Amino acid sequence: MHNQFDNTTKAGTVSGTLLTIFVNLQYEDILKTVLLAGIGAFVSFFVSVGLKYLLITMKNHRRRKW
């Protein structure tokens, strides 16, 4: 019976915390978060592609030198 009380308390605490967060979120904050995540993914992708290109170019340049 004690275990059931612990699970109920945990579930109530988690759901109350999530509900409080959900109620306090504003549309502008969500939009800003989505926009910044998109920009971060875009920049990360192109930096990875650029570094890969640079690495391949350096390897090919090194092979031609010998």
Residues of the chain under the 50 pLDDT cut? 1
Look at residue 10 in the predicted model and tell me its pLDDT.
Answer: 87
Q: Identify which of 35, 34, 38, 36 has the alpha carbon closest to the alpha carbon of residue 46.
A: 38
Look at residue 53 in the predicted model and tell me its pLDDT.
Answer: 96
| pTM for this prediction | 0.56
**Domain regions of the chain by residue span:** 2-65
Q: What angle do CA 42, 53, 43 make, to 5 degrees?
A: 15
